[in-house]
Amino acid sequence: MDVAPLDALPAALRAALGPAHVLTGTDAAAYEQDWRQRWPGRALAVARPGSAEEVATVLRLAARHGASVVPQGGNTGLVGGGVPDDSGRQLVLSLGRMNRIRAIDAANLTMTAEAGCVLQALQEAAASQGLLFPLSLAAEGSCSIGGNLATNAGGTQVLRYGNARELCLGLEVVTAQGELWNGLAGLRKDNTGYDLRDLFIGSEGTLGVITAATLKLHPQPVATLTALAACPSLEACVALLMQARARLGAGLTGFEVMNRLSLALVARHFPQLAQPLPDAPWTVLLEQSDGESEAHARSLFEGLLEAAIEDGTVLDAVVAESLAQSRGLWHLRESIPLAQAAEGTNIKHDIALPVSAIPVFVAATDAALARAFPGAALVNFGHLGDGNLHYNLQAPPGMPAAEFLARHESAVNHIVYDGVMAHGGSISAEHGIGQLKRDELVQRKSPVALALMRSIKQALDPQGLLNPGRVIDVSATTAPAAGRSPGTSPRSAG
């Protein structure tokens, strides 16, 4: 196929989509900057298609003009996966106009929605039918379901309902060649060959563009209770998790952990938020959903906490008495990232470990970082119930946050990721790889896995036009860096 001039692409897109839906210059600025403001870019144009067919048209035109395409949802990502580079040659494909809920099938417990639907809108649509869409995360008021699926988002209810992958039954996807695959059937059993759906979930727009999804719904619980519990140690938090699982079973829907500094930052930057428990080394946020009655749920919940206080696992606890109080407790947890942002740029880690390994990992890695960077502050919080920590480092007093990030991010990452790998973990739990962790992935993933990933990328996107430079670099070698083998660590993090 003859390649048309790149600079003629915006005009071709305007002819296909209409002038109002192709943005350039200052009109494109909001799409060129990531949420963390770490990767400012410059787009050739921003295309805003309104249907899957228009997405297919955009991708065919991009291929004809030799333009690489960066799919973008709500632009709330944290790893630089949804913004253009600074070349001015990449096309941003915004799915924001594709925000229709196509169908809710109450009997089949499914909802079919377009990729640009905001997560909170999906939750509200399900609730209007007396049903539950359980994916929930701090950015739910602005993130989109297409982005959630492209990164296999997790959130606060993974413990019971699973990641975005587990909540998706089917996809509609436009391929790199501009072909439309409709795999939206809401089937729970379909054993007819390779599972194409799972290829695209978590691929961060590098294999195809998700345009719609059929999602699992659940019955609304009769009662939902929330509690805060102060714990003397991280080991005690794990012990409380084991007790909660034993007493509450599948009713345990959330189990979040926050270290002392996490809540101190919230108190500093959001003093209007009530913190009902005294200061403690660790605080746990628990949520229980019950299908029987609120009285039954409260009896189980209070019994769990009373027993934990009696045996010393918990120092103090409070159970929310109203929906407003429950929202207040969750607001504390969800305000931690905002408080960190207000404090200044920090070195973030979204890691996963076996729950049993988390206390020893944290103790060893805390100590290693304290030796290497005296005075740096560890902000440790996250989804302990499913083994996902947001393990972040703030600059020491007196050092500008941006300077600390620029000078020490690589060394900090080396210590943290060595510890993660030594304890059988993953360097990315729910945020994805993007461009932030692409090079690290080459060092930490096995050569066999990397070769398979490159083969899939080459097969589905042979021109390399979909989100290049993110997740996997098809041109890079699989050889490990000197002194390191993928999937192993040469030294202890401690």
Tokens 């909660």 appear where?
244
For every residue of 377-423, DSSP letters joined together read EEEEEEEGGGTEEEEEEEPPTTS-HHHHHHHHHHHHHHHHHHHHHHT
H or E element: which one contains 339? helix 336-343
CA separation for the pair 35, 215 (Å, rounded): 26
Task: Go through 359-397 and write b for each residue having 16 or more CB atoms within 10 A of its CB, e for each that does not.
Answer: bbbbebbbebbeeebeebbbbbbbbbbbbbbbbbbbbee
- For residues 352-375, give the mean pLDDT: 96
CATH of domain 342-422: 3.30.70.2740
For 159-174, write each residue's pLDDT tens digit.
899 999 999 999 999 9
In the chain, CATH 3.30.465.10 sits at 101-219
According to the model, what pLDDT value does residue 491 have? 30
pLDDT at 1 over 80: no
Give the 3-state secondary structure percentages of the chain, helix then strand then coil, rounded to 5: 40, 20, 40
pTM, entire model: 0.88
CA separation for the pair 230, 260 (Å, rounded): 10
CATH of domain 223-337: 3.30.70.2190
CATH of domain 101-219: 3.30.465.10
The answer to whether the CB of 32 falls within 8 A of the CB of 89 is no
In the chain, CATH 3.30.43.10 sits at 6-94
For 161-207, write each residue's pLDDT tens digit.
999 999 999 999 999 999 999 999 999 999 999 999 999 999 999 99
CATH architecture of 6-94: 2-Layer Sandwich (3.30)
Give the total residue count for the chain.
Answer: 494
In the chain, CATH 3.30.70.2190 sits at 223-337
Nearest in space to 347 (alpha carbons), one of 376, 381, 388, 382: 376
For every residue of 152-168, DSSP letters joined together read T---TTHHHH--GGGGE
